[in-house]
Amino acid sequence: MLIKAVESILQEAIQCGDFDDLPGNGRRIDLSDYFNTPEDLRLAYSLLKSADVLPEEAELLKEIAALKGDLASCTDETKRKILHKAIEERMLNFNVMMESRKRR
C-alpha cells in the first residue's frame, strides 16, 4: 500500500515536471565508482560524496595532481625542488595509506 502511494506521488511529480531541472537530467547514472569501492566502505563513501567531502586518499591524489601541474609550469629550480619533495611526500603518504588498507 505504502509503495503504491509513494509511486503515485513520484508519478505526479514527474508529470508536473518537478524533476526536470535536476543535475544530470537525461544522463545515465554512472555507478562504476560505487561498485568499484569495497563493499564495507560503500555506504561511508556514498555519504561523503553526497556531502561533497572526498576521502583522504582522493584529497591526496588531488593535491598530487595540482603539485604536478605546478611543477610542469615552474621554471625556478629552487621551487622545482620544493614541489618535487612535496609530491614525493604526498605519494609516500598515499602509498602507506593504501598499503594499510590492503592489510585490513
- Would you tell me how many other CB atoms lie within 10 Å of the CB of residue 91? 14
Domain ranges of the chain: 29-103
Q: Is pLDDT above 70 for 6?
A: yes
Q: Is pLDDT above 80 for 1?
A: no
Distance CA 69, CA 73 (A): 7
Q: Is pLDDT above 90 for 53?
A: no
Give pLDDT, residue 45.
81
Contact 58, 81 (CB under 8 A): no
- Alpha-helical (H) ranges within the chain are 2-16, 32-36, 42-50, 56-73, 77-103
